[in-house]
Structure 1
């Protein structure tokens, strides 16, 4: 009968550390990305650039795509005052391997904001005509 309260006490002690963990490395960017057929992409590539420039400051590939999210730690080396994010959705539809992309400006101060920036991307049926074979 002594073990039970001790285990409960240890569990209660561990809860504050579990709760505070996401605050230390909070998620800055996540979102939902869909291919034209409504399914999720095979993989997602995230590229951060300086505004409309083409110079890449950061690139990360998520495979499986449902693990797509970026944290503060991902941006340690990204030095820019005007970041933009380009999302590439790599979709497989029938025999075609297609890549669709969309670009978003990242809101000012998002690094300090505990609420994630969620750029969503839903490739539409119209995008099928712009399918790039990879």
Structure 2
């Protein structure tokens, strides 16, 4: 099952979360995967937040698939609250009796990624002093 949810962000950008759910054989477990896309107001089509010309592209390529998804989420501007909202709507659409889960721990890893960004900013500020 595929479910798409769009959000209008405060910066005039539109973000889309695509949730893909695979029902495991002989089980009621549904494993979901995410894709994050963005579209600025002057653009016609959605695209990945981090492309080959993005300054953080190297970090995306060196990351594990789970961390790469979280980097895409962070740079798309989608919040954890918006992601949880999309997951809850996906659960309602798929119906009762299914256990929906994903491979990544959203809260813990995002805190870690934000710490990386803050640390890099602090290093740059210290180097300039």
TM-score normalized by structure 1? Answer: 0.29
Larger relative helix fraction:
2
Q: TM-score, normalised by structure 2?
A: 0.30
Q: In proportion to residue count, which structure has more strand?
A: 1
Q: Indicate the structure whose relative CO is greater, using CA pairs within 8 Å and at least 6 residues apart.
A: 1
Larger Rg: 1
